[in-house]
Structure 1
Amino acid sequence: MHKSITSLLTPAPRLSSTTQKRPSPLRVLLVAWLLFGCIGSLWTFASPLMSIPDEPAHAIKAAAVARGQFSGNTTGKQGEQLTVSVPGYIADLHDYKCFAHKSDVTPACAQPIDATDRGWRAATTSAGNYNPVYYGIVGLGSRGLSGEAAIYAMRLISTWLVAFFLAAIFCAASSLRRFHRPVIAASVALTPAVFFLTGSINPSALEIASTAALFMTLCAILEQSAGKVPISRLLLVTLTLSGALLAHTRPLSLLWLAIAALSAVICFRLNTFLQTLKIRGFQLALAGIALSSLFALWWVSSAKSFESLLTGAPIPSDVAAVAMLDKTVFFMVEYVGVLGWIDTLPPPAALYTWVLGFGAMLILAYTARPVRGRWAMALLTLTVIIVPLALQAATSEQLGWIWQGRYTLAMVVTLILAAGVATRFRQYRVTPWTKSLVRWGLVLGILAHTYVFLEGLRRYTIGIQAHVNWTEMFEPLWQPPGGWQLLTLAYIAVLAAGGVCVYRLLAIKPAPRAETSPSTDALS
């Protein structure tokens, strides 16, 4: 079972005359990064500027950090937005969301961004005292550019950063010995909501991608350690990067980091983790994550990051707790893809597609063996239900209603990935029926993703009206760059390319059981 580290970055040897070669993890990473980068970029241009929740606040924060303002001026009053100094065209971004919360109003109501207004002006942002790391990276897009070009540049930097960690999920999943069901889980877990946020200036997307990448990469590392296989340097690098950046995305990210890491350890036993701790490369990766987390913890505490949360009408804590429990299943709508400023619901057909996919993965995972995989599922399920409830109830009397479904999406995606890891020991046979099932599943997924994408374009080009108005899109009131028709065709093409890649991966026959070490199975 001993392999060199180099062999982990090259295609696995042919096991039999009927077994295809598995692509190397590095190849999977690069191809997936390209595909996810293109998907996110198409969302970048399909979504009007300032059409994502809180995007003006995040864009202002990013531009400020890129110019050396890591925090802002405040009186310290809860809910008060911080003040920073930014170029005029950035300071006015709050004025370009005239269509927010109004699904029947198109972005045609907004005036063009004045690229010539580059003089310094004061601007307010609710993200003023958030961790500056994400914003410093994204804000670089506003240096040397102005107007809409600068905003799109910031979006694209965020998109390709997030796309790397989305690709890392598939890289790690394909590194597992029994990779088929983890790859299926990864395909199901990445909903339109994830791609919608990927194309925006919003740290939620990076939080989702890096949490999921950390979980799946740690699972792959623990499996290699259990099998006495030299740990892939590529996996160690992606683990370090995902953990280090996750700690700096949002105030809750440190909690998600701890839960994701604990869930991976539960999947592979504590003894396996302790054995892996003896490996120097893993020690260095954990040290990097720990140092980054300490800085993030210091920032949250010293900058009082929770103080800029906007306040609303107070709600008794017991009422908030019951309401959150009642909304647990309803949040599925937001997990799939509520667009705009939470004003455009996903089409029912798309919603039911992911209800079916999530349900199938969860049922298989909760009946999977070995039973220890179910303990990780239980932890993540309780996290998705209890943590939002507890946080909302604890703050409702002071802040009112603050919770949105996307705040839990990092844990929801990790839950579905854990389902894939838990079910990996179920026998997977590549038969004509299996191939047909995979093909039709991918077609259904592509259609559902496209439907949500088109629904977003309909909302922005002509607005969601009381009557069915799809044909009116050919006489749009607003058009994205390149036109909605070209973006839609490009989106279908990229999704189809991704579907072909996933299909080819899932069509690879599993290694014969004789090729797998029994001792390794016992530890996995």
Structure 2
Amino acid sequence: MLASLWSLATPLMAYPDEPSHTIKAAAVARGQFTVQEGQSFGHGVHVQVPSYIANLSAQTCTAFKRDVTAACAPAVPMDDNYLTIGVTSAGLYNPMYYWLVGLPSLFLTGAPAIIGMRIASALLCTAFLAAGMTALTKLRNPKWPLAAAAVAITPMVLFLSSGINPNSLEVAATMAAFCGLLVCLESSSRLGQVKPAIATVGISVVVLANTRNVSLVWLLIAFVVAVAFYGFRSLGKLFHNRTVLITAGVMLVGVGLGLLWIVLMLFAPGSTAAAPEGITNLVAGVRPHQAFLTMIDRAFDFVPQYIGVMGWLEVPAPQAVIQFWSMLLMLALLVPFTARPRRNAVGFWIAAGALAIVPAVVQAGLIGSVGYIWQGRYNLPLFMIAMISAGMAVRFRRFDPAPSFRGVARVLVAAAAVAHIYTFVYVLRRFVVGLKDSGNWQVMLTRPDWQPPFGWILLAVVYAILIYLGASAAYAYFFPGYSLARLPNFAGRIRRPTVDSPPRDEPGDVPEKPSRHA
């Protein structure tokens, strides 16, 4: 629901490279899976799509112009459905994601069709995010990994999940595959109890392998990090289970299809190549080792893009949100230093190293042909692995129910909720009245220049309610029997706060015990 609200609140084509991905999705939904001779003339792949989709470039008038409101875009005609040539730079991408997302364009038209495609992407991506979170609850000590996963679902992750771009599915499927694999490895002696986690791994791996070419790299890193936490002995036990063997067979077929597509596109017609997504500049004379060192030097420069840089990278989240989330991310980086025994943090150090080094290696390999193209959102799959690994490193530490610990947790959960809501309203402000040098919040109420479907006020109120419900549910999970908010009794006396009463054990709930190493 949160991602769908982002889909409504963001103007059409206000996501990175959304026109190309929308054209590709509409084409694939109409059976245009492969690239043939004569379909391209050097600027991208030419496909047959409805005219209103082929001409979506006019909707990008806000791109890179933070003071221009979404009112600059012309209306999308509802009856402009005759097939015409559309040009997409995503023509060589694997068609799986695009087919699923493009289906609404077969029975809707105009702006509703595009919003329907966005919501289809949001449902697909958030299903994997939910599967990953659900898998983590099956760990023996799930609270620290779950807290880290909640921090990892930043406003940027929700924003990307609501647009038409396979990068969003890549992030969500990587998280689900990693979390499911952690559960399977920990439960290698009782796999019959975690069959949903096995299915999560199988489906996520197949989807991830057929998303983008680099997704196979994220899959390999997720596998290595998970095994680092539980060892090869647990990995070996998995293959004694029939369900795992069947799932592994399905995964091999899915990965094989992904590799086959990559090979086929290597032999695609020569004129189909287009500028890679997100290309920023070509750099003459820069050697691969120089590009590698530059990327290492810029490792922390990508952090704001993990938290929230919306639109076409022209709408950073408010500085208060960036600073708050940066604090949480720094805590996640430092806490594994306290892990005991230290071997519990090996998986985290591998994940953190991969987050810094692997993008640098990839960019170094591309520097000679396309220049510096890397963006922080490309790192989000590795970011999700690293964050959850930080929680795994300290998973045996007791989640203290003492009042002081609960008080700190309440402040952090409430602050995270406010940060999510503030970011949503701030991005709405950018498109409704534009971001000016002077404050113009009051203009949103008095003279809005653009309105999303249902109006920005209703969307913001519903978003705030949903965030509050999610924050309350999270706090209640971490501290059973306690609530996030303490409401007074206005009938004449103050009700005794729930948080002062002893916690109630839930059915089947086993009290946490510190390990002997704690």
Per the normalisation by structure 1, the TM-score is 0.88
Q: Does 1:256 align with 2:218?
A: yes
Aligned counterpart, 1:131: 94
Say whether the 8 Å CA contact 2:67–2:430 is kept in structure 1.
yes
Distance 1:367 1:397, change over 3 A: same
State the 1:78 CA deviation.
11
- Following superposition of structure 1 onto structure 2, how do residues 278-427 of structure 1 map, counting pairs within 5 Å? 278-304=240-266, 307-310=273-276, 312-315=281-284, 316-317=286-287, 318-427=289-398
Per-residue displacement from partner, 1:454-510 (whole Å, max 9, x unpaired)? 111111001111112121111111111111111111111101111111111101377
Moved more, 54-63 or 345-354: 345-354
From the superposition, tell whether residues 382 and 124 of structure 1 become closer, same or farther in structure 2 (CA, over 3 Å): same
Query: Which one of 460, 463, 466 corresponds to residue 494 of structure 1?
Result: 466
Specify the code of the residue in structure 1 equivalent to 2:282: A
Pair 1:100-2:72 in alignment = no
Deviation (angstroms), 1:77: 9.3
Tell me the alpha carbon deviations over residues 222-261 of structure 1, each in whole angstroms, 9 at most, x when there is no partner. 11124x4634221122111111111111111011011112
Root mean square deviation, CA, Å: 2.1
Distance 2:172 2:92 in 1: 23
1:350-379: CA deviation from partner (whole Å, max 9, x where unpaired): 011111111112211233133333221122
Partners of 2:421 and 2:35 in 1: how far apart?
40
Equivalent position amino acid for 2:125 in 1 = V
Residues 483 and 406 from structure 1, CA distance in 2 versus in 1: closer, same or farther, beyond 3 angstroms? same
Unpaired stretches in structure 2, ≥5 consecutive residues: 481-504
Question: How far off its partner does 1:295 sit?
Answer: 0.5
> Normalising by the residue count of structure 2, what TM-score does the alignment of the two structures yield?
0.89
Q: Is the 8 A contact 1:74 1:80 kept in 2?
A: no
Question: Equivalents in 2 of 1:229, 1:110: separation in Å?
Answer: 54
Write out aligned runs for 1:128-277 (5 A). 128-226=91-189, 228=190, 230-277=192-239
Query: Greater relative contact order: 1 or 2 (C-alpha under 8 angstroms, separation 6 or more)?
Result: 1
Structure 2 partner of 1:122: 85
Alignment of 1:458-477 (within 5 A): 458-474=429-445, 475-477=447-449
Structure 1 residue 212: deviation in Å?
Answer: 0.7
Alpha-carbon distance in structure 2 between the residues aligned to 1:248 and 1:331: 26
> How far apart, in 2, do the equivalents of 1:200 and 1:356 lie?
27
Note the C-alpha offset of 1:513.
6.1
Question: 2:183, 2:194 within 8 Å by CA — same for their partners in 1?
Answer: no
Matched, 1:505 2:477: yes
Residues in 2 aligned to 1:170 and 1:235: alpha-carbon distance in whole angstroms: 11
Q: 1:513 to 1:469 in 2, by over 3 A?
A: closer
Deviations 1:4-41 (A, max 9, x none): xxxxxxxxxxxxxxxxxxxxxxxxxxxxxxxxxx0001
Q: Which amino acid aligns with 2:472?
A: V
Q: Quick check: 1:191–1:337 contact (8 Å CA) kept in 2? A: yes
- Residue aligning to 1:81: 44
CA distance 1:237–1:370, shift in 2 (3 Å) = same
Residues 78 and 313 (structure 1), Cα distance of their counterparts in 2 relative to 1, 3 Å cut: farther
- Assess, with a 3 A threshold, how the Cα gap between structure 1 residues 77 and 266 changes in structure 2: closer, same or farther: farther
More displaced 10-residue stretch of structure 1: 71-80 or 445-454: 71-80
Letter paired with 2:307: V
Partner Cα separation in structure 2 for residue 340 and residue 123 of structure 1:
23
Quick one: which amino acid aligns to residue 141 of structure 2? R
Deviation at 1:411, TM superposition (A): 0.6
Q: Give 2:405's match in structure 1, choosing from 434, 444, 467.
A: 434
The aligned residue for residue 10 of structure 2 is: 47
Q: Give the distance between the partners of 1:255 and 1:83, measured in 2 at CA.
A: 29
Give the letter aligned to residue 449 of structure 2. Answer: L
Matched residue type, 2:13: M
Change (3 A) 1:96 1:280: same
Which of 60, 64, 68 is equivalent to 2:27? Answer: 64
Going from structure 1 to structure 2, the CA distance change for 1:301 and 1:370 (only over 3 Å counts) comes to farther
Question: How far 1:112 sits from its partner (Å)?
Answer: 0.5
> Secondary structure at 2:137's aligned position in 1?
helix
Q: Which structure 1 residue ranges, 5 or more long, are not aligned?
A: 1-37
